[in-house]
Amino acid sequence: MMEYGDYSPKEQLQLAVCLRLISEKSYLSQEAIRRDLHYHGFDSISQSTVSRLLKLLGVIKIRNAKGQKIYALNPQLRPVPDAARTVSEMVTSVEHNSEFILIHTVAGYGRAVARILDYHQLPEILGVVGGSSIVWVAPRAVKHTALVHKKINYLLRTH
């Protein structure tokens, strides 16, 4: 986790909330992040402040499962693997489209999360492929993709 000691308490709170929002939700624009920060109590936050927060957090733009460019934490800046981590700390986001589920993890934890899913043998899952920081999940029936997404969130305690 980042150290915020060099910043004012207000900046520390802004950084922490911004980090949590980006970890939990997919954002296509800085304006959407600004709106959510406003909703979380930062009434007069500007787009330039959001831009500065993103830079301080090392946030980059990546393509999501739908091909959209979203803001995400840079996997190279994430902490090194730690065996004492809980599963929910390993997972940074779980998203889906109409056909499959993608689980983004802290760098180095993708295979561990894939193994956890394999171990639980959910009958709704056809297959799981784990990489270093991403897990691809194929539901047995695409009409149940949202249900499988919900079960994975529950299993991994990311909800």
Per residue of the chain (159 residues), give pLDDT as tens. 444 456 778 888 888 888 888 887 889 999 999 999 999 888 889 999 999 999 988 899 988 777 889 998 876 665 555 555 677 778 888 999 999 999 988 877 888 899 999 989 999 999 999 988 889 999 999 999 999 999 998 888 865
pLDDT for the residue 2: 47
Indicate whether this model's pTM tops 0.85: no
Residue 149 tokens, joined: 């997404």
Domains and CATH numbers, the chain: 9-75 (1.10.10.10), 78-156 (3.30.1360.40)
